[in-house]
Amino acid sequence: MTLNVALIGAGAMGGAIGTRLVETGCTLTVFDLDPEKVAALTDKGARAAGSAAEAAAASDYVITSLNSARIVELAVFGAGGAAEGAKPGALIIDMSSIDPESTKALAARAAEAGLRWVDSPLSGGAPKALIGELTLMAGGEAEDVADAHAVLKHVSSNYTHMGPSGAGQTTKLINQVLCGLGFLAIAEATQLAQDAGVDAEKIPQALKGGRADSALLQEYMPRFATRDYRRTGRIDNMVKDLNGAQDLARLTNTSMPLTAVCAEVHRMLTAAGLGGEDQAALMEYFKGPDRGKLS
């Protein structure tokens, strides 16, 4: 059976998700405020909608991939939002990375409107979305999470129900703490290797299979070493996620000193004009006063 899916938000991540859904046979209706982003998907077989409401009206599943809780709220419940056009009982799958408390409030509001809500943030980025190998952590009612998998199986290879609404977003914040610290540790180790005269590009192979090995090490140390700043993510998005982790830590009274330092480094680079760059640009931190002028 062909799945009818609406996609609200066709940026770097949403565009990759939409591409994969079209390629795997879903009927996709897309809405984004940027016509060029919509055109990139309609060229591949998606249909354009003039509003989120119009996109939702044609679909049984509504995926949102947006940058903040406020934008998600407007896209779903604002004027012309998905809730206006969605069929009774339609399932909204929020793949944005937003804070757990906002997610709980949005899910409750959706329920009042006769809609279902699953938070399903992701790890793996656009490259993994394009080949259907995202890692997804889901929050919501068990039946809704299972229903969402009918769509999300096309873009993921690891899908886990973490608990009620907001649990997926909490898990994503934990993921981002681990990734943020990992990126910074590997960048720092890369600089140390180079300053000490060791070929940093050889280190991933040298450490492969050992306790220091990781997917991040294998992918990013070669990029750090060669200053390969191809954009597969954004430093300012990491700032948003680390801010979210720190907000949650304040609510839970959890001490996170390393996360605080990591967040400050990311904020410094963002203030230097590098917020839109990939995590590989963490190497610019080690340039000191010259940071902000890309190598």
Choose, from 87, 172, 287, 293, the residue flagged as catalytic: 172
Interval 169-227: pLDDT, tens: 999 999 999 999 999 999 999 999 999 999 999 999 999 999 999 999 999 999 999 99
- Please report how the helices 12-23 and 35-42 are oriented relative to each other, as an axis angle in degrees rounded to 10: 20
Dihedral sign of CA atoms 286, 291, 294, 295 in order: negative
Tell me whether residue 172 is one of the annotated catalytic residues.
Answer: yes
Domain 4-164 class in CATH: alpha beta
Yes or no: domain 170-284 corresponds to CATH 1.10.1040.10: yes
Spans of all domains in the chain: 4-164, 170-284
Q: Assign residue 122 a region: left if phi > 0, alpha if psi is -120 to 50, beta otherwise?
A: beta
In one-letter notation, the amino acid at residue 3 is L
pLDDT the model gives residue 293: 65
Please report the pLDDT score of residue 10 as a whole number: 97
| The pLDDT value given to residue 9 | 98
Max distance between CA atoms of the chain, in angstroms, equals 64
In order, the DSSP letters of 249-280 are: HHHHT---HHHHHHHHHHHHHIIIIITTS-GG
Q: Are 279 and 238 in contact (CB under 8 A)?
A: yes
pLDDT of residue 232: 83
pLDDT < 50 stretches in the chain: none
Report pLDDT for 115.
98
- The pLDDT score that the predictor gives to residue 156 is 98
